Structure 1
């Protein structure tokens, strides 16, 4: 009876091959791919091409009972100086931007809306206008964007209700966030020009149809005249992006994480392909040289054997 003991050695051999390939791919090629793409990304898009600004850095002013303005000055920084960042420390700060540059804005606003008891609305579903505009020297405000959205507001009669037999799993604040936290996203607001005439950036939340509290052009009007309170969440923020002439660079700056993932994968595939080609070529050339060396040695042995026979 013959026992085949070669398959364990073959299994160990292939396992070692797979392990080596996995280690090379994860430990060497993947970090190298990320570093290579990061250098390419930094070359195309400088690190100061975007400025993340929390809404807590703005000054809040209220006009009447139903209009709220978040205003902040723009500090123009020349290209020869480093661009400071806005620290997310909850303090009011000016917004540093590059001078004479066009910016695009992505904004996310998360907030609670409260309605005072004496002016309770008939419905929780209310409407609001979110407006983005700039204040300029010696001229009217320049409207950049206006969005009319439905929101939910809390009245004194509202409370957290749970199905019968169920208990509150988390804190009441978490439950309020689940049921009452409004979220408004505004993407790709253009035409923010940081020329010498532009002084401030303003975010307006308007809840009433009254031109006394609104800049002409962005007030859509509402049926109720209630007294509102706006509680802004700390996650509210704006992202100011330099508007590049090439559309692909704008997309890379806007979708930074997706760009890094896709770019790293592409570079990883290219490096792996080059390594495979190099390895196959090296093995082929080595085998060719070994074959030629074996033929040469065999020919020498044959010649010596022939000479020995002749001498005999």
Structure 2
């Protein structure tokens, strides 16, 4: 009885080809495309085009608002804004550059009243000019001492995470304010009859604006940009590899036919 191994061997052969192609794609093409696009992105969008400024960098004024002092620089890279908890430090921006401001603020509201629904008034002003105003509804937790202890404790992780999810309030606004080059400070205030506790990760973002709209989109939606860009670079590399492989195969085939002896 003969066993036909032709078809299984073909399957093994094609599976080996597929495994080799997959390995080359994952180990060579994908890393190469990622490195090339990352270098391309950094040439178009410098590292200091977006600044993440923790709220801890804003110092509290006598009126209860948070102030950010701005210094304008000429050429060169901007100093890195470190989240070291030190306040009253000036933030450096490029001179002549307009920035868009985003709010990425999370906070907890504590109250001793029976009503848990409250309102927070958010204002941003510079040189006594209102630049942003918004009234947002928030949910407040009762029993401030208990909640403060619970949120700062690390013993009951599950209970702390539950409270953190249920009682957190967010102010997430993109392109809230345009910061022109002549702005050297602004004041942020969140007014409420209840006590507000800010999450340590709360921050504001300053994004530089470019004349080209595509660069603004690449800075604002950088995750989508990286996904699309790496995919396009992969296709480009695969196209180059395919063209080179086909050209090499044709050249070798012609050379082989040219050297093969002719039959009489």
Match of 1:123 among 107, 115, 119: 115
Deviations 1:162-207 (A, max 9, x none): xxxxxxx844432321221111101013420232xx3312221123
1:28 is matched with 28
Shift of 1:262: 1.4
1:310 is matched with none
Residues 218-237 of structure 1 aligned to structure 2 (within 5 Å): 226=193, 228-237=194-203
1:204 is matched with 189
1:221 is matched with none
2:252 is matched with 286
2:72 is matched with 76
Shift of 1:107: 1.4
The answer on 1:113 being equivalent to 2:77 is no
- Distance across 1 between alignment mates of 2:62 and 2:173: 22
Match of 2:126 among 134, 139, 142: 134
CA RMSD, Structure 1 to Structure 2 (Å) = 2.4
Deviations 1:252-284 (A, max 9, x none): 101112211211111111111221222123223
- Distance across 1 between alignment mates of 2:124 and 2:210: 21
Residues 85-104 of structure 1 aligned to structure 2 (within 5 Å): 85-92=80-87, 93-104=89-100
Residues 206-285 of structure 1 aligned to structure 2 (within 5 Å): 206-207=191-192, 226=193, 228-285=194-251
Match of 1:176 among 157, 163, 166: 163
* Higher alpha-carbon Rg: 1
Going from structure 1 to structure 2, the CA distance change for 1:109 and 1:291 (only over 3 Å counts) comes to same
Shift of 1:4: 2.6
Going from structure 1 to structure 2, the CA distance change for 1:35 and 1:77 (only over 3 Å counts) comes to same
Could you tell me whether the CA contact under 8 Å between 2:110 and 2:144 is conserved in 1? no
Structure 2 unmatched ranges of 5 or more: 148-155
Alignment TM-score, normalising by the size of structure 1: 0.74
SS state at 2:71 partner: strand
Structure 1 unmatched ranges of 5 or more: 136-140, 161-168, 208-225, 303-312
Task: State the number of aligned residues.
Answer: 256
Runs of 4+ in 1 over 6 A off after TM superposition: 157-160
Going from structure 1 to structure 2, the CA distance change for 1:5 and 1:174 (only over 3 Å counts) comes to closer
Could you tell me whether the CA contact under 8 Å between 1:129 and 1:149 is conserved in 2? yes
Could you tell me whether the CA contact under 8 Å between 1:83 and 1:97 is conserved in 2? yes
Which of 43-52 and 4-13 deviates more?
4-13
- Distance across 2 between alignment mates of 1:290 and 1:73: 74
- Distance across 1 between alignment mates of 2:169 and 2:61: 20
- Distance across 1 between alignment mates of 2:159 and 2:21: 52
Could you tell me whether the CA contact under 8 Å between 2:101 and 2:178 is conserved in 1? no
1:38 is matched with 38
